[in-house]
Amino acid sequence: MKSKVPFVIIAVLLLASIACGISAGATQTPTPAAAEPTGSSPTDASAAPSPPAAGGSEVIVSVTMAKDVEGDQNEPVNPTDVFAPGDKTIHAVVAIQDAPPDTQFSAAWYTVDVGQAAAPNTLIDKTEIVTDGTRNIDFSLTTEESWPAGTYRIDFSVNNEVVETAEFSVQEP
């Protein structure tokens, strides 16, 4: 039986992630959820971007969900797509290859199904970074509270076009 987490926890997560920022490297520019296009609501399923068609981007080589990263190369540590409610930080390591100068990468974190804690397709946070070359980008989301159990997704965009999606879940151990 799924536990029902009050909506207050999602609100706290949203505020905490905006207040604390999301770690994606020194040149990261966070974009708050309020920057959604006018006339759309992040909780409106029709307002959330659709997952991309298979194939992805030629610039994004892979996405690895992990519990941590290490070193200057942002190598994923403890790769997994299942996290515990008490895991404070969730990492999405995006390997890019031959990105032209001034390429804009972004990660938009959404709920998929977290029961009554939040509506499906609720935007949790979005982070952007402009970079180039071949390297790993660490998009991460941190909370001081527990994650509501359920499923989540991250839409990755290159120059404002969603090209890759990753899903993960939060489950009791």
Burial of 6 (0-12, 13-18, 19+ CB in 10 A): exposed
Q: Is residue 67 part of a domain?
A: yes
Structural domain of residue 76, as residue ranges?
Answer: 7-34+55-170
Q: What is the largest CA-CA distance in the chain?
A: 49
Q: Is residue 103 part of a domain?
A: yes
Give the model confidence (pLDDT) of 100-118 as tens digits. 999 999 999 999 999 999 9
**Are residues 120 and 113 in contact, defined by beta-carbon separation less than 8 angstroms?**
yes
Q: Is residue 95 part of a domain?
A: yes
pTM beyond 0.85: the answer is no
Other Cβ atoms closer than 10 A to 120: 14
Question: What pLDDT is recorded for position 156?
Answer: 98
Q: How many domains does the chain have?
A: 1
Q: Is residue 130 part of a domain?
A: yes
Q: Is residue 90 part of a domain?
A: yes
First to last CA, the chain: 14
DSSP single-letter state for residue 151: E
Q: Is residue 43 part of a domain?
A: no
Q: Where are the beta strands (DSSP E) in 82-143?
A: 82-83, 89-113, 123-142
- What CATH number does the domain containing 116 carry? 2.60.40.1930
Give the model confidence (pLDDT) of 14-50 as tens digits. 434 433 333 333 333 333 333 333 333 333 443 444 4
| Cα–Cα distance for residue pair 92/104, rounded to 1 Å | 16
Element (H, E) at 81: none
Q: Is residue 82 part of a domain?
A: yes
| Cα–Cα distance for residue pair 81/4, rounded to 1 Å | 22
Is residue 173 very low, low, confident or very high in pLDDT (cuts 50, 70, 90)?
A: confident
Give the model confidence (pLDDT) of 126-164 as tens digits. 999 999 999 999 999 999 999 999 999 999 999 999 999
Q: Is residue 65 part of a domain?
A: yes
Structure tokens at 86: 């008490």
